[in-house]
Chains A and B, each alone.
Chain A
Amino acid sequence: EDQVTQSPEALRLQEGESSSLNCSYTVSGLRGLFWYRQDPGKGPEFLFTLYSAGEEKEKERLKATLTKKESFLHITAPKPEDSATYLCAVWGGGADGLTFGKGTHLIIQP
């Protein structure tokens, strides 16, 4: 059974204070690892897909990296509008749907 563990559960940063979110996973045959952003009461918004260890993707203040056991979402000089829950999900060989982690609730204080 595919499993995704995200840490920390919640993170409060000052505006401009860089940090990283962790996603550890166990999956049979990783086909892809995904990062989503979710605002309260909204659907998850796609951010990145990573397919193989060593891959990196960047978008504005966010950068996602992947190893064989975990992924990191680095956030550089965050702004209050980056406040959201960040979900990590894996697409494994056995399942059709994505398996999500419980997310990291990120708060950026002005």
Chain B
Amino acid sequence: AAGVIQSPRHLIKEKRETATLKCYPIPRHDTVYWYQQGPGQDPQFLISFYEKMQSDKGSIPDRFSAQQFSDYHSELNMSSLELGDSALYFCASTLPENTGELFFGEGSRLTVL
């Protein structure tokens, strides 16, 4: 079965650079969530989109922005990268009826040097 696809899987950037992460949800899933997971930490909710509109915002820094496109894929844009932004970034999607169950991608590992 198709899963949530994230790219790139690994990304290395310098401080103050910009990075973009992409997420392709499971077909028919119209809601996308972004989570950040630091080493040894629990996933922290960043932002979510439903039907291409932002639906909720968590602990997303102002330096980050995201959007969902007409084909339901989403992109997380991160600017002025800091060392503390190094983490695993997960995208998750849910069924249209949204039972709360999140289906996670494999994650994008961002390393900021």
**Residue B72 CB within 8 A of the other chain:** no
**B residues within 8 A CB of A100?**
42-44
Are A46 and B48 within 8 A (Cβ)?
A: no
With the chains together, A97 CA to B92 CA distance in Å? Answer: 10
**Residue B56 CB within 8 A of the other chain:** yes
The segment from B11-19, B62-70, B76-84, B94-102 found at the interface with A is: B94-102
Q: How many A-B residue pairs have CB under 8 A?
A: 61
Give, as a whole number of angstroms, the nearest-CB distance from A56 to chain B.
17
Give the interface centre of A95, A98, A99, A102 by most chain B CB atoms within 10 Å. Answer: A98
**A residues within 8 A CB of B41?**
102
**A residues within 8 A CB of B102?**
34, 44, 46, 98
Chain A contributes a number of interface residues (CB within 8 A of B) equal to 22
Are A41 and B99 within 8 A (Cβ)?
A: no
With the chains together, A102 CA to B44 CA distance in Å? Answer: 10
With the chains together, A101 CA to B103 CA distance in Å? Answer: 17
Are A97 and B35 within 8 A (Cβ)?
A: yes
Are A97 and B56 within 8 A (Cβ)?
A: yes
Are B101 and A43 within 8 A (Cβ)?
A: no
**Residue B24 CB within 8 A of the other chain:** no
**Residue B110 CB within 8 A of the other chain:** no
Partner of A43, one of B44, B48, B56, B106: B106
Interface residues of B (CB under 8 A from A): 4, 33, 35, 41-45, 48, 55-56, 58, 88, 90, 92, 99-107, 109
Q: What 4 pairs between A and B have smallest CB-CB spacing? A: A96-B56, A97-B45, A43-B104, A32-B100
